[in-house]
Structure 1
Amino acid sequence: MKDILIDGQRLLTTDAVADAVIDYARVLHTAGEFDVVDFPGIHDGEPSMCSLLLGTAGSLVVVDAQMDLTIALPESDVACAEIARRADALR
């Protein structure tokens, strides 16, 4: 599991989703573009669907989480594939 840290908020998600998000953020930054991505995660201890604006001036940090997730994050594979598809389309 990895944490996505942005503007003082912590979003816990799968390694694959977090890696796809940070990769897409890099691609968007290079292209001077922005986009909103949706993915399942844990925010404030509760499962939720997260929406994150990427490519703006804000800082985004991805770090290894200090805990394992005990609940499943449905649709994380679908979200990861969609984020990766968008990144590939801009390369």
Structure 2
Amino acid sequence: MSASTQKPLIAPWKITLMAVAGTLVPAIMVAFAFAVAPLPVTPAAADVLRQLVRMAGVFIGLNALIVAVVTLINALASRPARGRPLAVRT
């Protein structure tokens, strides 16, 4: 990195980890709920499973939004400031 660029607020690998964990954790929880559901799926159990799938979708969507906002803030914070002249050695 040169002296004119700032260090990012959050390391890029942490943003990637946040995106992966925020997607996989709700999906795994829903898969586990389907695995332990009673075998002859009753209408009441099916309603609960539908609600779980909707909730997991909401959590995954919110996580995607949060990751996008954090990535944007990180990119804006690591940009060099405009109007500041670069040091020129003669």
TM-score by length of 2: 0.30
**Which has a greater percent of helix?**
2
Q: Highest relative contact order (Cα 8 Å, sep 6+), 1 or 2?
A: 2
Normalised by the length of structure 1, the TM-score is 0.29
**Larger-Rg structure:** 2
